[in-house]
Amino acid sequence: MTKLTDILAITGKPGLYKLVSRGNNMLIVESLVDGKRMPTYARDKIVALSDISMFTNADDVRLNEVLTNCGKVEKLQPVGFDPKKAETEQLNTWFDAVLPDWDKDRVRPSDIRKLIQWYNILIKAGITEFVVEDEADEK
């Protein structure tokens, strides 16, 4: 089982990456899109998906919960529309089904597009359980 702590987003590089190994001052990552491996260094801004949350009108919701909700709405299939071509209204309607209490002032359409792209990448890579480290240790 792949944990979201091992799935990384790297600023300036498209897609998502799986952590493969750690070296001196670098990480070896593998693209979930094409499987190519490459080094990343301290200068690259790297964020684990487990460290990301989405704004709601109450408390922020961790990304793993949002991805789980996406899976329920989409029945663990890729999203049925192209997020790049979708109108803001279509994105908002879809996200209302995923996270009804989302903060419409702080979550931008580009955030929803990025979420859909990431969800689709994870589903196509066969990752359908969106657990973080603590939850994986409890199982």
Tell me the pTM.
Answer: 0.90
- Interhelix angle 63-74/109-124, nearest 10 degrees: 70
- Over the stretch 3-55, which tens digit does the pLDDT of each residue have? 889 999 999 899 999 999 998 889 999 999 999 999 999 889 999 999 999 99
Sheet with 7-10, strands from edge to edge, namely 37-41, 26-31, 17-23, 7-10, 46-48
- Residues 84-113: what's their mean pLDDT? 96
Domains and CATH numbers, the chain: 4-49 (2.30.30.730), 51-133 (1.10.10.1650)
Please give the share of the chain, as a percent, with pLDDT higher than 90.
83
